[in-house]
């Protein structure tokens, strides 16, 4: 009789402890998931960057800069026109480089090619173009904005 | 064959399962102290889990460390809670370890053949203090910076090897980014690997050697470890965990002002290490460093090898001298720690009074 009561009591106790442990575990899993699921978005919040015109020469006609944690390529074309493009390859995210002789942009990772307007060349891996950005000429300096260039 | 038996056999855990099934915990007037080892294990586990979580966002450079902790506390969901739990749990762990160690000492649980457990326990204590010391610098705030400066300067008082030890700790001429990298590597790489291994050894030894019974204690019965005692331990762990969360939520761990290496500042008033280093901190204030280092070195050796020195206990007899030594050690720690905190309080009061006096001269409003 006494033994039966002990077994019954132990069963209740076991249930209580297991229940309490489950009650504690649920919020732990929720908190851990929320904590680990945090992704920093928005980068540095920077919307533009400035470079000196003299940084682009006929010998070195392109420059990689970073705006809002994204690589941007600024190029000086043969007619001295300055243009800026997002430098993230649309294939798998490598950074593209400028090839004046191509002419256009080249991605070393998977030999992706874009023409000098940033349009992906059919037959190579990228399936979409680079985005051309707004460049404001401020005399000796150039302001590169992260907004797409308005179509003329 | 049910799945539990199948799993035990396929993982070759038959001996372990039998050892766990056969383990009993004796009842006597001091058996309540057995719980503290389990509690320390729980807090250690919390440290590993929360520590790994913090690693996802912490950036270990002098420029970014403080900012990344600020981000953890202000932007990452529940980041303030995870960091607060990590800091409070570290302190709870140290408290449990001290209680566990002194109760083992006073119960003479270090007697042969359990001396191996005592030795692994002492190494674990030192490793946990190492965790405390290396982790203290990681937030890169002003108090952490100066406390680490003091801590890494102390060994210099040692003859011949002092300078070498000090520069090895700093990784540079003075505390800077190189020190932070070093402390980080120790805190998240070296110390966890060694301590997890030793904790496993320590726990396996309990299974193999059983619980220590103080000489002359009257054993009134025993409880099967699995599942009865484990159930009681789980209840206590739940209470301990609940208290930890309550404290972490009600008193979130603070983050001091960042230390800027490019613009050196004076130490804030009352710079001090964590409470478990305070007895050392106070001792160093009143006796020369080299005496303190050598003295504590000898005491540590004595403490480590006490299983071999306490011959009476080895024979199963009472050894009151060692009981008195244990009590004296506890009293020393309590008195020196209290004294250290009183001194820190005085320094802070004096500093704020000085600020009040200086403020009107500087043309500011003293409030």
Q: Which residue has the higher pLDDT, B330 or B358?
A: B330
- Residue B268 confidence class, pLDDT cut points 50, 70, 90: confident
Q: How far is B154 from chain A (nearest CA, A)?
A: 39
Residue B236 has pLDDT above 90, yes or no: yes
SS3 call for B62: coil
Question: Is residue B239's pLDDT more than 80?
Answer: yes
Q: Average of pLDDT values for B324-334?
A: 97
A12 touches chain B (CB under 8 A): no
Give residues 78 to 137 of A whose Cβ lies within 8 Å of B: none
The runs of H, that is alpha helices, within chain A are: 2-36
pLDDT at A68: 87
Mean pLDDT confidence for B224-236: 91
β-sheet with A70-76: strand ranges across:
A48-52, A141-148, A132-138, A82-86, A70-76, A62-67
Chain B nearest C-alpha distance from A38 (Å): 6
**pLDDT number for residue B363:** 44
Smallest CA-to-CA distance from B216 within B106, B136, B89 is with B106
Tell me which residue in B82, B234, B235 faces A35 most closely, judged by beta carbons.
B82
Per-residue pLDDT at B364: 44
Strands A97-99 and A82-86, by their bridges, are unpaired
Q: Is A38 an 8 Å CB contact of chain B?
A: yes
Q: What pLDDT shows up at residue B365?
A: 42
Residues in chain B closer than 8 A to A19 (CB atoms): none
Residue B61 pLDDT greater than 90, yes or no: yes
Give the pLDDT confidence score for residue B30 in this predicted structure: 93
| Per-residue pLDDT tens digits for B106-162 | 999 999 889 999 999 999 999 999 999 999 999 999 999 999 999 999 898 888 899
pLDDT at position B340 is 96
**Residue B204 burial by CB count (10 A; 0-12/13-18/19+): exposed, middle or buried?**
middle
The model's confidence at residue B281, banded by pLDDT at 50, 70 and 90, is very high
Q: Specify the higher pLDDT residue, A100 or B362.
A: A100
Instruction: Say how many Å lie between the first and final Cα of chain A, rounded.
Output: 95
pLDDT of residue A69: 85
ipTM of the complex: 0.84
The 10s digit of each residue's pLDDT in B241-254 is 999 999 999 999 99
Q: What is the pLDDT of residue B17?
A: 87
User: Does residue B124 sit at the A interface (CB-CB below 8 Å)?
Assistant: no
Cβ atoms of B127 and B198 closer than 8 Å: yes
One-character DSSP codes across B71-97: HHHHTSTTHHHHHHHHHHHHHHHHHHH
d(CA B201, CA A138): 70
Average pLDDT score over chain B:
93
Ramachandran category for residue A15: left, alpha or beta (phi over 0 → left; psi -120 to 50 → alpha): alpha
B269: pLDDT confidence band, cut at 50, 70 and 90?
confident
Q: Compute how many other C-beta atoms are within 10 angstroms of the C-beta atom of residue A143.
A: 14
For the stretch B47-55, contacts whose Cβ atoms lie closer than 8 Å and that sit 24 or more positions apart, written own/partner, are B47/B86, B47/B89, B47/B90, B47/B93, B47/B131, B48/B192, B48/B196, B50/B82, B50/B83, B50/B85, B50/B86, B50/B89, B51/B86, B51/B188, B51/B192, B53/A32, B53/A35, B53/A36, B53/B82, B54/B82, B54/B83, B54/B86, B55/B188
Q: Radius of gyration (Cα) for chain A, nearest Å?
A: 29
Residues on chain B touching A31 (C-beta within 8 angstroms): 78, 81-82
Query: What's residue B362's pLDDT?
Result: 46
Determine what percent of chain B is predicted with pLDDT higher than 90: 78
Q: What is the pLDDT of residues B71-98, one digit of tens each?
A: 999 999 999 999 999 999 999 999 999 9
Is A15 touching B (CB cutoff 8 A)? no
Distances in Å between the Cα of B72 and the Cα atoms of B168, B258, B309 are: 30, 15, 49
B231 to A13: CB separation less than 8 angstroms, yes or no: yes
Residue B56, chain A, CB below 8 Å: the answer is yes
Q: How does pLDDT run across B301-323, given as a tens digit for each residue?
A: 999 999 999 999 989 899 999 99
Query: How many Å apart are CA B191 and CA A70, to the nearest integer?
Result: 38
Positive or negative CA dihedral for B101, B330, B32, B210?
A: positive
| The dihedral formed by the CA atoms of B205, B207, B212 and B217, expressed in degrees to the nearest 10 | -170
Q: Give the pLDDT of residue B361.
A: 53
* Segment B211-224 mean pLDDT: 91
* Regions of chain A with pLDDT less than 50: none
Choose the mutation target among B55, B78, B224, B238 for the interface with A, i.e. most A CBs under 10 Å.
B78
**Using omega within 30 degrees of 0 as the cis cutoff, is the peptide bond preceding A103 cis?**
yes
Does the pLDDT value for residue B101 go beyond 80? yes
Determine the pLDDT at residue B177: 96
* Position B49 confidence tier, pLDDT thresholds 50, 70, 90: very high
For B83, nearest residue in chain A (alpha carbons): A35
Q: Residue B208 — very low, low, confident or very high, per pLDDT cuts 50/70/90?
A: confident
């Amino acid at each position: 009789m006494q033994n039966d009561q002990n077994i019954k009591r132990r069963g209740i106790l076991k249930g209580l402890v297991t229940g309490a442990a489950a009650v504690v575990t649920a919020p732990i899993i929720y908190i851990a998931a929320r904590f680990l699921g945090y992704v920093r978005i928005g980068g540095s919040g920077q919307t533009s960057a400035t470079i000196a015109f003299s940084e682009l020469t006929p010998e070195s006609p392109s420059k990689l800069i970073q705006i809002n944690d994204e690589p941007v390529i600024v190029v000086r074309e043969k007619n001295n026109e300055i243009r800026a493009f997002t430098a993230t390859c649309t294939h798998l995210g490598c950074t593209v480089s400028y090839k004046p002789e191509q002419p256009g942009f080249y991605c070393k990772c998977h030999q992706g090619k874009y023409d000098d307007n940033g349009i992906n060349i059919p037959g190579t891996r990228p399936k979409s173009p680079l985005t051309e950005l707004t460049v404001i000429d401020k005399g000796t300096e150039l302001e590169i904005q992260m907004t797409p260039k308005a179509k003329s | 064959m049910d799945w539990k038996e199948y799993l035990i056999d396929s993982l070759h855990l038959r001996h372990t399962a039998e050892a766990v099934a056969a383990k009993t915990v004796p009842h006597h007037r001091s058996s309540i102290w057995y719980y503290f080892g389990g509690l320390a294990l729980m807090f250690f586990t919390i440290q590993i889990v929360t520590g790994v979580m913090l690693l996802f966002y912490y950036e270990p450079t002098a420029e970014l460390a403080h900012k990344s902790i600020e981000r953890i506390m202000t932007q990452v969901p529940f980041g303030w809670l995870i960091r607060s739990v990590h800091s409070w749990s570290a302190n709870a762990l140290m408290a449990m370890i001290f209680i566990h160690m002194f109760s083992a000492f006073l119960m003479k649980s270090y007697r042969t053949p359990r001396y191996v457990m005592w030795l692994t326990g002492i190494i674990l204590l030192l490793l946990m203090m190492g965790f405390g010391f290396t982790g203290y610098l990681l937030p890169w705030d002003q108090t952490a910076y100066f406390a680490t400066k003091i801590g890494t300067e102390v060994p210099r008082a040692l003859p011949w090897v002092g300078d070498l030890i000090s520069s090895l700790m700093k990784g540079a001429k003075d505390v800077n980014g190189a020190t932070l990298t070093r402390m980080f590597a120790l805190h998240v790489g070296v110390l966890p690997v060694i301590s997890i291994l030793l904790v496993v050894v320590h726990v396996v030894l309990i299974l193999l050697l059983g619980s220590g019974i103080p000489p002359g204690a009257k054993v009134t019965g025993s409880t099967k470890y699995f599942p009865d005692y484990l159930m009681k331990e789980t209840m206590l762990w739940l209470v301990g965990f609940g208290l930890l969360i309550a404290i972490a939520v009600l008193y979130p761990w603070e983050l001091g002002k960042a230390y800027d290496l490019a613009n050196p500042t004076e130490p804030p008033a009352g710079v001090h290490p964590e409470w478990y280093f305070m007895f050392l901190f106070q001792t160093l204030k009143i006796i020369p460093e080299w005496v303190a280092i050598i003295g504590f070195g000898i005491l540590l050796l004595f403490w480590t090898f006490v299983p071999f020195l306490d011959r009476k206990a080895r024979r199963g007899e009472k050894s009151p001298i060692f009981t008195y030594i244990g009590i004296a050690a506890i009293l020393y720690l309590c008195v020196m720690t209290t004294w250290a905190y009183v001194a820190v309080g005085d320094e802070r009061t004096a500093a704020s009074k000085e600020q009040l006096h200086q403020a009107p001269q500087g043309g500011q409003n003293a409030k």
